[in-house]
Amino acid sequence: MKQQTPLAPDLMKAKPAAPLRNPYIVNFCRVLIEKKGEQLEPEIQKKLADDMYRLFENMLGQNMIKALPDDLRKHYLNLTEDLSSLDYDAIGEVFDESIPHYQEIMKETMKQFAEIFMRNRKFDPLDYPVALE
C-alpha cells in the first residue's frame, strides 16, 4: 500500500500567525512603560505590553464608534451582530468617509490611555473604560 502525501499541510503542526500589529501603537506602549520607569523581567514586560496593546485597540475602537454619526453607528452595530458578514471592506465603508478626523481620535485615545496608565501605580485592566476579552 502506497502512502499518500496530504493535499493540505498539517494544520496541527503549523504555528498560528502572529496578529498584525500597528508599529506606532507598539512603540507607544513601549515608551509608556519606559517613561513610567517600570523595571520588569522581559517576559513580564512583554505580557504587559501585549495587554496594553489590546486595551488600547479596544479603547480606540470604542472611541471610533462613538465618533460615528448616530445612524451610521446603528448601522455598524447591526453589521457586527453577524461577524461572518463583516470584513475589512465593510468596515472601511463605514469608517473611511465618515470619520475624516481619525488622527484626532487616535491622539485623544493616546492621551486618555497614557493618563490612566501613568496615574496608576500598578497596571490593572479593570481601571480602563473597556473590557479585556
Q: How confident is the model at residue 7 (pLDDT cuts 50, 70, 90)?
A: low
The pTM score is 0.71
Q: How confident is the model at residue 61 (pLDDT cuts 50, 70, 90)?
A: very high
Dihedral, 25, 27, 32, 33 alpha carbons, nearest 10: 120
Q: How confident is the model at residue 48 (pLDDT cuts 50, 70, 90)?
A: very high
For the stretch 17-31, pLDDT in tens is 667 889 999 999 999
Contact between residue 63 and residue 109 where contact means Cβ atoms under 8 Å apart: yes
Q: For the residues 41-56, what does the mean pLDDT come to?
A: 93
Residues near 53 by beta carbon (within 8 Å), at least 6 away in sequence? 21, 25, 26, 29
